[in-house]
A and B are shown apart, each in its own frame.
Chain A
Amino acid sequence: MTETVIHPALALILGALVLPFLRGMPRSVAIVGLPLVTLALLWQVPDGPVWQAHFLDYTVTPLQGDRLSRLFATIFALMAAVGGLFALGQNSRLEVPAAFVYAGAAIGVTLAGDLFTVFAFWELMTVGSTLVLWSHGRDTAYRAARRYLMIHLLGGVVLFAGITGHVAQTGSVTFTHMAPDSVAHWLILIGFLVNAGAPPLSAWLPDAYPEASWSGTVFLSAFTTKTAVYVLIRGFPGTELLIWVGLFMAFYGIVYALLENDMRRILAYSIVNQVGFMIAGVGIGTEMALNGAAAHAFTHIIYKALLLMSAGSVLLMTGRRKCSELGGLFHSMPLTMVCGTIGALAISSFPLTSGFVSKSMVSQAAADGHLLAVWLLLAAASAGVFLHAGIKFPWFVFFQKDSGLRPAEPPASMRWAMVVYAFLCIALGVWPEPLYALLPHAVKYEPYTWAHVLAQLQLLLFSGLAFFVMLPYLKRTLTITLDTDWLWRRLLPAAATRSEAWFGAARQALSAGAGHVGNGLVGMVIRQAGQDARLARTWPTRSMALWVLVVLLGYLLLYYA
């Protein structure tokens, strides 16, 4: 090759490492400029393998361009820029650099041509996102980060086992289309789905994301799940199982979001719901469906970030996060209210917003494929989205009863970030052609037909009606919803407490152990392996010698038997 291409992901990651040393104006410029430089570099990456190297016995391709990669990498870089702008006032010096490493790793995954590189960036993403969560500095954030890290390390382990198996079977590390036809491919699929927030581990997402700072959640919402959607589009398109996984996630998100009271947890559940649409699209697997999944990921990142920015602004200005403690904020935060509402309209796929031009493609693909059940369920889920995110979030936060709070609008950098994204939500809705031109496959879809618009408006009207009819039931009181994370947050520790009583072991050793996950097991392990336990103690010489004899006898018996 003649020209040198700089790896955009590495540029962003290395730049992020310099950030902590900057202060004041140069820091602000770097935070907004760095992702834009990355974006410019990204568009220099030609199609096909660009960087290749030999590693072990294989040819790895750390940098490779194509339409799908570019689409996802573009929105990731854009997200890093606008998220950086929103977070300019963040006091934590760790958060933005960590978020940029996180974003860079996500871009790295999308530009990877081989599974090794995917895995390396995949793990880096886990590290980056954990640090973002961590940098909030609160004790709850610390504990959430630990749970988050454990789930993702576990997912990484499964993924790595799968990748090794795949390479052992095929002798190639190229990241291509796979089907769940062998153990190795199942493991890869499971590894991908863990990051997508698929059941049964979906709970990591709403457990962790709302614990980040007012700006951290914005970053977290964008990368992990959408990278998972990307690798699923590339690796497992047309896997029928994914349709049902996606639909399950869509409804799961709705049910829990309706029950939830914390505004950012509502939005976190709604991420699961939205990713469900995308995964269902991947499962349908036609060109239209894949286009729809990719486009939906693109628009979703924008409007979900917008929603979380408005929620983050409210959190920063009021310090409150529960719907039952908020309300009537439109009096003093009109801009935040307008931007939040635009986000809410977009997520509900209101015509003339970005959500409309992307989500309808998935439904259309289901209709084209004559998947009636899928189409009906998708339509029902769309109505549900309007219920929980489209109306519920803005209604309870900005309108409803007047809570008496009169916070000011957030600082300028945050306002600008919201305005940029609100503009994009509308612009993409009115003028979807540039987005369609970016999609991996040629688009033969016209969003603004009378049938589409009318059908969607009817749907929204009826679900809107349903919301206000059911309003008395939806008024949230102070509740905590139980999810599957109850298993590892409550049941195991409870079992541990019980077993403690039986064994009479010290409770302190337990709680100092290893957090919530598997406390029962941990308790047992500590008793056996902890500081002064039998396995860790210095043995007297005679017991060491005794063991030598035991092993010798064992071998002799084994041989002579």
Chain B
Amino acid sequence: MNLAPHLPALQVVVPLLAAPLTVLLRRRSVAFAVALAASWVALAIAVALWLRVAEGGTISYAIGNWPAPWGIEYRVDALSAFVLVLVTGIAALVLPYSRASIEAEVPPQKHYLFYTMFALCLAGLLGITITGDAFNTFVFLEISSLSIYVLIALGRDRRALLAAYQYLIMGTIGATFIVIGIGLLYLMTGTLNLADMGRRLAAVQGTRPVLAALAFLTVGLSLKLALFPLHQWLPNAYAFAPSAVSAFIAATATKVAVYVLLRFYYSVFGESAVFARLPMQEAMLLLALAGIFVASTVAIFQTDLKRLFAYSSVGQIGYIILGLSFDSTSGLTATIVHLFNHGVTKGAIFLLLGGVALVTGGTSLARIQGLGKRMPLTSFGIVLCGLSLIGIPGTAGFVSKWYLIRAAFEKGQWWLAFLIVASSLLAAAYVWRFVEAAYFREPRKDLTEGAKVPRSMAIPSGLLVATVVYFGLDTSFTVGSAAQAAALLLGGLR
């Protein structure tokens, strides 16, 4: 049987089937093997899809051979292929890492559940990205969200429960808003296929239900992607989740929400409806800047590294949305490329912090004093990723900032360009907090001597740090894909 034409379906089906399999098999080593295999296969499929899209353009796949507007369509274009590579790539690195990491952080009888939830979450995120159907988007969003709530609650700290609970409440409100928005759109267009919806929406553009749908979707998705001031669920969720979970959701979950936002804005409502007729540019700009400055400032004063970098995530999401607010090719390129670059950078940081937590027993600044001497490679890795957060040339973060500032200059808003670079001083300040504690303080006496990060954790972390540097130097994949996706979105996929 030739599987090649069915790759879009397999992209979701493989991890989705792996989930119940891990429950049935129960043995944690077997569950681990199944989840690992699923994530690696998913990565291979994503890369294959990306290559096919790069060659032959958008792929449309009709589930069960039901043609597009009636049946569910899976649609892989330049943007979704790029996001698929990010999500599966992170999953393929986090899974081998998670084995040793959860051994230390999660009670053994729950291990197989971890893998189940991880596979489900992966399937959900991939489904959101690949589907061309509005209701399907919502279903997969729920699948991924529910599994993330469970994954967070697995955290060792009792506060993880409260964090998961708060995220559950907020996430559910967000999902409700999204489903209301989709419902209103369905009401007005009579279709659930995104591309079809975009076409039919032209006739009813500007009517109150459509505007309400836009508002509900915007708020619901802003919640999911943690745009200021709807970010409050995020710091605790990242801080108290198990290390592997923090790394995975920090790198993928919010990014996929950004993807959905882009999809609805550009492919469904259309650029002119969102940005030309409504003051969305100003609104997004305001919230993005507030997010960047407030969250980065709050990050400076955190005493726990996981929380510090969680707030930094909120700030970095501000940059992603800032690019969107320019409504230009460079701006959108910046958004998409930063979505990837920040995903990789933050993923690497949280993986490294997992190793730190394992060796020192925590990630508070007081506990990691003198880390530079005890764990030189890990500390250096965190500093490298920190440089990427600041946007130093030679790291991935620089590339995103570059396009962002260029977009600002193209609009003639040089004051904004100045604000963007000035905000990197805040990033420098919170990265400095780590540098100061790790390199300019003497190690604590009780810092466990001889404890080492297991190789299964060190190698994935190292690989991800290497990608941060690699994509700072060779930008053909990231910028190339992002520019193509931006052109696609702006070229109108009505």
Chain B CB within 8 A of A503 CB: no
Contact between A552 and B406, CB atoms less than 8 A apart: no
Contact between A552 and B166, CB atoms less than 8 A apart: no
Also in contact, A168 and B294, with CB within 8 A (given A56-B479, A552-B219)? no
Partner of B232, one of A120, A154, A547, A554: A547
Contact residues, B110-136 vs A (CB, 8 A)? none
Measured between beta carbons, the chain B residues less than 8 angstroms from A161 are 405, 414, 417-418, 420-421
Also in contact, A545 and B393, with CB within 8 A (given A164-B402, A168-B406)? no
Chain B CB within 8 A of A539 CB: yes
Contact between A157 and B229, CB atoms less than 8 A apart: no
Chain B CB within 8 A of A473 CB: no
Query: Between A and B, how many residue pairs show CB distances below 8 Å?
Result: 130
Chain B CB within 8 A of A432 CB: no
Smallest CB gap from B403: residue in A: A56
Measured between beta carbons, the chain B residues less than 8 angstroms from A514 are 300, 429
Chain A CB within 8 A of B279 CB: yes
Which of A239-247, A483-491, A523-531 is near enough to bind chain B? A523-531
Contact between A529 and B394, CB atoms less than 8 A apart: no
Measured between beta carbons, the chain A residues less than 8 angstroms from B216 are 552
Contact between A544 and B278, CB atoms less than 8 A apart: no
Measured between beta carbons, the chain A residues less than 8 angstroms from B169 are 541, 544-545
Measured between beta carbons, the chain B residues less than 8 angstroms from A187 are 414, 418
Also in contact, A556 and B215, with CB within 8 A (given A525-B297, A536-B298, A541-B170)? yes
Contact between A531 and B219, CB atoms less than 8 A apart: no
C-alpha spacing A545/B173, complex, angstroms: 8
Contact between B418 and A559, CB atoms less than 8 A apart: no
Contact residues, A386-440 vs B (CB, 8 A)? none
Also in contact, A560 and B211, with CB within 8 A (given A161-B414, A167-B406)? yes
Chain B CB within 8 A of A119 CB: yes
Measured between beta carbons, the chain A residues less than 8 angstroms from B417 are 161, 164-165
Chain A CB within 8 A of B473 CB: yes
- Tell me how far the C-beta of A535 lies from the nearest C-beta in chain B, rounded to whole angstroms: 5
Chain A CB within 8 A of B477 CB: no
Chain B CB within 10 A, most for which of A123, A514, A529: A529
- Tell me how far the C-beta of A546 lies from the nearest C-beta in chain B, rounded to whole angstroms: 10
Contact between B219 and A555, CB atoms less than 8 A apart: yes
Partner of A538, one of B208, B236, B429: B236
Contact residues, B396-414 vs A (CB, 8 A)? 399, 402, 405-406, 409-410, 414
- Tell me how far the C-beta of B297 lies from the nearest C-beta in chain A, rounded to whole angstroms: 5
Contact residues, B137-178 vs A (CB, 8 A)? 162, 165-166, 169-170, 173-174, 177
Partner of B425, one of A119, A154, A552, A556: A154
Measured between beta carbons, the chain B residues less than 8 angstroms from A535 are 294, 298
C-alpha spacing A164/B409, complex, angstroms: 8
C-alpha spacing A559/B278, complex, angstroms: 6
C-alpha spacing A55/B470, complex, angstroms: 12
Chain B CB within 8 A of A478 CB: no
Chain B CB within 10 A, most for which of A183, A541, A554: A541
Chain B CB within 8 A of A373 CB: no
Contact between B302 and A531, CB atoms less than 8 A apart: yes
Smallest CB gap from A561: residue in B: B279
Contact between A164 and B405, CB atoms less than 8 A apart: yes
| Per-position 1/0 for A104-126, Cβ under 8 A of B | 00000000000010011001000
Smallest CB gap from A536: residue in B: B298
- Tell me how far the C-beta of B219 lies from the nearest C-beta in chain A, rounded to whole angstroms: 5
Partner of B302, one of A536, A554, A555: A536
Contact between A530 and B279, CB atoms less than 8 A apart: no
Smallest CB gap from A552: residue in B: B219
Chain B CB within 8 A of A158 CB: yes
Partner of A555, one of B166, B283, B303, B473: B283
C-alpha spacing A374/B402, complex, angstroms: 41
C-alpha spacing A119/B417, complex, angstroms: 16
Measured between beta carbons, the chain B residues less than 8 angstroms from A558 are 278-279, 283
Smallest CB gap from B406: residue in A: A168
Measured between beta carbons, the chain A residues less than 8 angstroms from B222 are 551
Chain B CB within 8 A of A153 CB: yes
Contact residues, B210-235 vs A (CB, 8 A)? 211-212, 214-216, 218-219, 222-223, 229-230, 232-233, 235
Contact between B232 and A544, CB atoms less than 8 A apart: yes
- Tell me how far the C-beta of B279 lies from the nearest C-beta in chain A, rounded to whole angstroms: 6
C-alpha spacing A120/B387, complex, angstroms: 12
Chain B CB within 8 A of A86 CB: no
Contact between B214 and A559, CB atoms less than 8 A apart: yes
Contact between A551 and B219, CB atoms less than 8 A apart: yes
Contact between A158 and B394, CB atoms less than 8 A apart: no
Also in contact, A55 and B475, with CB within 8 A (given A525-B297, A559-B214)? yes
Contact between A551 and B230, CB atoms less than 8 A apart: yes
Contact between B410 and A168, CB atoms less than 8 A apart: yes
Measured between beta carbons, the chain B residues less than 8 angstroms from A559 are 211-212, 214-215, 278
Contact between A529 and B298, CB atoms less than 8 A apart: yes
| Per-position 1/0 for B269-313, Cβ under 8 A of A | 000000000110001000000000010011011110000000100
Measured between beta carbons, the chain A residues less than 8 angstroms from B47 are none
- Tell me how far the C-beta of B368 lies from the nearest C-beta in chain A, rounded to whole angstroms: 17
Contact between B170 and A545, CB atoms less than 8 A apart: yes
C-alpha spacing A123/B387, complex, angstroms: 12
Chain A CB within 10 A, most for which of B232, B300, B406, B420: B232
Measured between beta carbons, the chain B residues less than 8 angstroms from A526 are 301
Smallest CB gap from B278: residue in A: A559
Measured between beta carbons, the chain B residues less than 8 angstroms from A545 are 169-170, 173
Chain B CB within 8 A of A508 CB: no
| Per-position 1/0 for A28-70, Cβ under 8 A of B | 0000000000000000000000000001100000000000000
Measured between beta carbons, the chain B residues less than 8 angstroms from A530 are 301
- Tell me how far the C-beta of B168 lies from the nearest C-beta in chain A, rounded to whole angstroms: 10
C-alpha spacing A533/B302, complex, angstroms: 11
Contact between B297 and A544, CB atoms less than 8 A apart: no
Also in contact, A529 and B294, with CB within 8 A (given A184-B409, A514-B429, A551-B219)? yes
Smallest CB gap from A554: residue in B: B283
Contact between B473 and A55, CB atoms less than 8 A apart: yes
Chain B CB within 8 A of A548 CB: yes
Measured between beta carbons, the chain B residues less than 8 angstroms from A184 are 409, 414
Chain B CB within 8 A of A277 CB: no
Contact residues, B359-412 vs A (CB, 8 A)? 392-394, 399, 402, 405-406, 409-410
Contact residues, B3-55 vs A (CB, 8 A)? none
C-alpha spacing A548/B232, complex, angstroms: 11
Smallest CB gap from B475: residue in A: A56
Measured between beta carbons, the chain A residues less than 8 angstroms from B473 are 55
Chain B CB within 8 A of A192 CB: no
Contact between A56 and B399, CB atoms less than 8 A apart: yes
Chain B CB within 8 A of A169 CB: yes
C-alpha spacing A158/B405, complex, angstroms: 12
Also in contact, A165 and B170, with CB within 8 A (given A548-B219, A555-B218, A558-B283)? no
- Tell me how far the C-beta of A21 lies from the nearest C-beta in chain B, rounded to whole angstroms: 13
Also in contact, A123 and B392, with CB within 8 A (given A165-B417, A545-B173)? yes
Known: A120-B394, A160-B405, A558-B279. 15 other contacts (CB 8 A): A123-B392, A157-B418, A158-B421, A161-B418, A161-B421, A164-B402, A164-B417, A168-B406, A169-B409, A514-B300, A536-B311, A538-B236, A552-B215, A556-B215, A559-B278
Nearest 7 A/B pairs, CB to CB: A168-B409, A555-B215, A164-B405, A559-B211, A157-B421, A529-B298, A529-B297
Residues of A within 8 A of B (CB): 55-56, 116, 119-120, 123, 153-154, 157-158, 160-161, 164-165, 167-169, 183-184, 187, 514, 525-526, 528-531, 533, 535-536, 538-539, 541, 543-545, 547-548, 551-552, 554-556, 558-560
> 29 A–B contact pairs at CB < 8 A?
A56-B399, A153-B428, A157-B418, A157-B425, A158-B418, A164-B421, A168-B409, A168-B410, A169-B409, A184-B409, A187-B418, A529-B294, A533-B298, A533-B301, A538-B232, A538-B236, A541-B166, A541-B170, A544-B170, A544-B232, A548-B177, A551-B222, A552-B177, A552-B216, A558-B278, A558-B279, A559-B215, A559-B278, A560-B208
